[in-house]
Structure 1
């Protein structure tokens, strides 16, 4: 039993005692010195609904040398996340097609006796001997094999949707449903966009759009690319997809969610679309808030991503879009790569960085310490807003307390006594903790981050899923 005395509730400010029951050891990822039992003065800490990230890449199946479901989920729990949405660029891709022997990554799926990649991931707990320390949903491919040539067929994956034949599903299928559609890594091509939108409309999914397309280029087009003598990626590669898809949302009424928006022009277009009441939402990522394209001089390939880091003016516009509410949520785009791949040089190295384990600290430093938003608003951007996007209900701490009798002293939220403990997901935060990002202490397999050595504030100390402690730094 872990008791946290005098902890602050994130949205009401009420001081309570929080009691967390014993830990299921199969789900516990700790740090040296961390504890799961005892009583602690938590007067400097905050309890909030667990973080959620609708944009992660766990490379399982097919590239588990970069990240596995187990290491990716451990990284998520370490970062305070209780739910993630896994993107479909697995090997084989998550398009619902039966896996063919000999295809890249097929061995992982077939060894688990799974029909396809969705089946493999839905039953990962059952076939890999143990529950994972984070909840996860799945995102199906917009096109077959994410190749962009033919829209995926809902007949191949609609049985894995939430609410479809739920009575006949096993608990693993119900726990990890398909809740979105995307070809993340590439925008949906013009030729199949209408069919993809029709599929989304027919199945009730929303389209997650990689809102950027280019056929050449390494980093942002501008003084930095010119100085380095490398091909640049113009800013309008993003705006063209954003404006195209806004018109598609206007035409069809399908909810389109734009990933990792990074330019001032795109934010202006999204603001205008929202003012019309169109079904548009968007996210940005910590690196677009904290870095500009000049970071390539300091961090090299660790600052190479897609979309690329943009100009300082665009970075400021991204922060402003957070401050004025244009951005609905913050997602990490956690993209693990092996060190050897990132060392291939600027032109050959793959795009992307990892982010789950330092996202809160980096965002807190830039946004809260910078005076742009409050602690409460940052929690909304990383917790309640992404949960709502994915169709889930974040834990209502104040609502749970309303079942507790109010007395002269502070109230106690005892997770052993709540009516539905399996639904309670929490993160314990030290919003003022100063700490140094150390990639070598990450639980991810990967180390590709530009934030190694950064001084940040705000640290997730513990993660609770289904009222069970699955990660703790308390006492460490």
Structure 2
């Protein structure tokens, strides 16, 4: 049985083909309004498992990712206990989830999550290890505690789960690497051959962006140079060490300018921004309250425009969601006490398409690159080369006008490596958090009218998620 998509467009060539996907049911769909592209990837998600599964779990987080068109994600290390490679101590918060499953580190637990819980997760995922022990910022993690989890290290003794979910990056995301351990962390990253994912912002006080809005709210502000200081510090370390630094959720014009200059110098620097810094400025706090509270904070309108300009001129390498689930009860605690962050996997494409493509700043093809091939390059993943697959495995079928090619994914050798997303780039839809697959609802985008929607997620040539001809 199979799903047959007729007249689907290939994202980077514009060629129209028929696509056959192995499926549990026989369906034949007019796909003339749809586009097929390499699956989205997100190197910046928080799934709260273990330790805070009342917010999100691996099951709900991966379901949200598949719903959003993502085929691969990188899980940040601020789990409870932290993902630092050290053995979990009984009695510590979250420890029982790991120990009761039969594992003694968070890395092992997450690598074997499907086996431990007897589930099949619909998305591929890698893991990011902490830069500091316990993610406390006081002592750098020991390379010996986690280097065995890296690809190419003792692979002959790893099982299939360990090979599928390796550690591929280092970060203390949620906080910048502290200056006291910065040199040691850079040394660890260089020794391991990984790259550093840096939360490029630090402040000891403040809850929202410093400016007219913070003063109107009567809430302590966070100056924009709290981001620039980390960016400039780490650029200098990249210059000294040659270590690849990837800056997360960059949000200010001054930071983008520093990154732009570092790239022109040829330094190993990459950066991302997130949909909320593209679509919102700090005035959103007046409308959405703490649903718009995040770290780094939403910035001024001038910074929002600078973020869009950095995307348009190529300074931004990729878009990541910083998917950060919290309960609504937590978000209602007020600006000083509510946790930072919003969920984003299930509406990221629509929000970015509405602002960036409909706004005339970039093309449909460029948005796909920012959400697919750009993140894959960062994470070291081989993306599905649709053109090559077509050239090698598509069958020509005479049509009324021209010869059309048919690609049957079930007949492609190594089909388990084919990851795709089916998009309706022109679909108008309303963001409804109550229909999200995530366990969380903390987003300011509820009720937004957006364009562009993932309709199906294909992982290993099989449907991982589909809303084709379905209400969702």
Q: In the aligned structure 1, how far is the partner of 2:186 from the partner of 2:20?
A: 46
Tell me whether 1:141 sits opposite 2:130 in the alignment: yes
Which of 186, 192, 199 aligns to 1:203? It is 192
Q: In the aligned structure 1, how far is the partner of 2:395 from the partner of 2:54?
A: 51
Deviation at 1:61, TM superposition (A): 0.1
Tell me whether 1:83 sits opposite 2:77 in the alignment: no
Give the corresponding residue for 1:29: none
Q: Deviations over 1:352-403 (max 9, x none)?
A: 0000000000000000000000000000000011011001011111010111
Equivalent pair of 2:395/2:406 in contact (CA under 8 Å) = no
Q: In the aligned structure 2, how far is the partner of 1:232 from the partner of 1:345?
A: 15
Deviation at 1:407, TM superposition (A): 6.0
Q: Deviations over 1:259-284 (max 9, x none)?
A: 00000000000000000010000000
Which of 405, 412, 415 aligns to 1:411? It is 405
Tell me whether 1:214 sits opposite 2:203 in the alignment: yes
Tell me, which stretches of 5 or more residues in structure 1 are unaligned? 24-35
Deviation at 1:37, TM superposition (A): 3.2
Give the corresponding residue for 1:253: 242
Tell me whether 1:458 sits opposite 2:459 in the alignment: no
Once the two structures are superposed, the pairs formed by residues 71-220 of structure 1 within 5 Å of their partners are 71-220=60-209
Q: Deviations over 1:393-450 (max 9, x none)?
A: 1111101011135565111111011011010000000000000000000000000000
Tell me whether 1:3 sits opposite 2:4 in the alignment: yes
Equivalent pair of 2:50/2:80 in contact (CA under 8 Å) = yes
Q: In the aligned structure 2, how far is the partner of 1:55 from the partner of 1:161?
A: 18
Deviation at 1:22, TM superposition (A): 2.2
Q: In the aligned structure 1, how far is the partner of 2:216 from the partner of 2:330?
A: 24
Give the corresponding residue for 2:225: 236
Give the corresponding residue for 2:440: 446
Give the corresponding residue for 2:23: 22
Give the corresponding residue for 1:386: 375
Equivalent pair of 2:253/2:307 in contact (CA under 8 Å) = yes
Structure 1 counterpart SS, 2:255 = helix
Structure 2 counterpart SS, 1:411 = strand
Deviation at 1:130, TM superposition (A): 2.0
Deviation at 1:42, TM superposition (A): 0.4
Q: TM-score, normalised by structure 2?
A: 0.97
Structure 1 counterpart SS, 2:266 = coil
Q: In the aligned structure 1, how far is the partner of 2:156 from the partner of 2:32?
A: 45
Structure 1 counterpart SS, 2:444 = coil
Deviation at 1:115, TM superposition (A): 1.3
Equivalent pair of 2:84/2:134 in contact (CA under 8 Å) = yes
Q: Deviations over 1:223-279 (max 9, x none)?
A: 111111110000000000000000000000000000000000000000000000100
Segments of 4+ moved more than 6 angstroms: none
Structure 2 counterpart SS, 1:157 = helix
Give the corresponding residue for 1:319: 308
Q: In the aligned structure 2, how far is the partner of 1:111 from the partner of 1:428?
A: 39
Q: Deviations over 1:184-215 (max 9, x none)?
A: 00000111111111111111100000000000
Q: In the aligned structure 1, how far is the partner of 2:179 from the partner of 2:336?
A: 27
Structure 2 counterpart SS, 1:307 = coil
Which of 357, 361, 365 aligns to 2:354? It is 365
Number of aligned residue pairs: give it.
464
Q: In the aligned structure 2, how far is the partner of 1:107 from the partner of 1:138?
A: 20
Give the corresponding residue for 1:26: none
Q: What is the RMSD of the two structures over their aligned residues, measured on CA atoms?
A: 0.8
Give the corresponding residue for 1:420: 414
Q: TM-score, normalised by structure 1?
A: 0.97
Structure 2 counterpart SS, 1:413 = strand
Deviation at 1:334, TM superposition (A): 0.1
Give the corresponding residue for 1:401: 390
Q: In the aligned structure 1, how far is the partner of 2:254 from the partner of 2:242?
A: 23
Mean CA deviation greater in 123-132 or 361-370: 123-132
Which of 12, 37, 40 aligns to 2:29? It is 40
Deviation at 1:347, TM superposition (A): 1.1
Higher relative contact order structure (alpha carbons within 8 Å, sequence separation ≥ 6): 1
Q: In the aligned structure 2, how far is the partner of 1:306 from the partner of 1:357?
A: 20
Tell me, which stretches of 5 or more residues in structure 2 are unaligned? none
Give the corresponding residue for 1:356: 345
Structure 2 counterpart SS, 1:148 = coil
Q: Deviations over 1:137-160 (max 9, x none)?
A: 000000000000000001111110
Equivalent pair of 2:397/2:406 in contact (CA under 8 Å) = no
Tell me whether 1:376 sits opposite 2:376 in the alignment: no
Structure 2 counterpart SS, 1:456 = strand
Deviation at 1:111, TM superposition (A): 1.1
Q: In the aligned structure 1, how far is the partner of 2:318 from the partner of 2:443?
A: 21
Deviation at 1:339, TM superposition (A): 1.1
Q: In the aligned structure 1, how far is the partner of 2:404 from the partner of 2:248?
A: 42
